[in-house]
Amino acid sequence: MREHGFFAVERRRFDDIDRRAPPPNAATPDVLRSYAGVDGLDWPFVAEEPPLTPLLDDGLLPEAHWPNLEAALASGALGEEARILWLSVEPVSDPDPPAGFVLVGYDVGFHPSGGAYSAVFHEVLFGLLPELREFASELNTHWLFGTSSAARAYVRKRAEVQARGADVEDAAPVLVLAVAVRAT
């Protein structure tokens, strides 16, 4: 598994989000607009084989290929809803994003082929379990954890809740993911 690299994600449309309560003191449209995590459809978004697809390792593109990814984004090949993130998987210290990217926080989730899952998005922001939703108070303006230690505390609590039989996503083990976005 690659430890860090670029990740392209397309925001999904969730029909049921409007029926779920957003975090306290937040409105659903505001959360959806400013959420900077991994949840969505991971690239490639269609069955076609874009030229960079063979270079992906667990959905992450090596930093050396940033110019190619930037060109694909500028050409519209990735679609209007595509966002480019730089991820560091299970960082042991504060990661150092590449030039032009700024660290905005830590998500918890996984990114298997066919869709990236954020436990922060589905279990903290719009979840049904109060024990996990209480972590919303620890999220920053990008609706991500501000520190890796806060993200790891969530992972521990989530494991406790899951061990008691609570209904949380278990398709793959969740990971702490440092998230950086393009500097504006």
Per-residue pLDDT band at 48 (split at 50, 70, 90): very low
157 in Cβ contact with 132 (< 8 Å): yes
95 in Cβ contact with 150 (< 8 Å): no
Distance CA 150, CA 153 (A): 5
Determine the 3-state secondary structure of 32 from DSSP.
helix
Q: Which of 99, 83, 100, 78 is nearest to 34 (CA)?
A: 83
* Exposed e or buried b per residue across 109-121, where buried means at least 16 C-beta atoms within 10 angstroms of its C-beta: bbbeeebbbbbbb
Per-residue pLDDT band at 46 (split at 50, 70, 90): very low
pLDDT tens-digit map of 14-36? 656 767 888 888 888 888 889 99
On the 0-12 / 13-18 / 19+ scale of CB atoms within 10 A, 161 is: middle
Question: In degrees, to the nearest 5, what angle opens at C-alpha 148 toward C-alphas 144 and 153?
Answer: 90
Per-residue pLDDT band at 47 (split at 50, 70, 90): very low
pLDDT tens-digit map of 136-172? 999 999 999 999 999 999 999 999 999 999 989 887 8
Highest averaged pLDDT of the listed ranges 40-44, 122-126, 171-175: 122-126
Cβ contacts of 77 within 8 Å, gap of 6 or more: 50
pTM over 0.85: yes
pLDDT tens-digit map of 88-132? 988 878 899 999 999 999 999 986 555 688 999 999 999 999 999
Average pLDDT over residues 177-184: 91
Domain containing 160 equals 4-182
Number of folded domains that form the chain: 1
Q: Own/partner pairs for 29-32, CB < 8 Å, 24+ apart?
A: 31/125, 31/126, 31/143
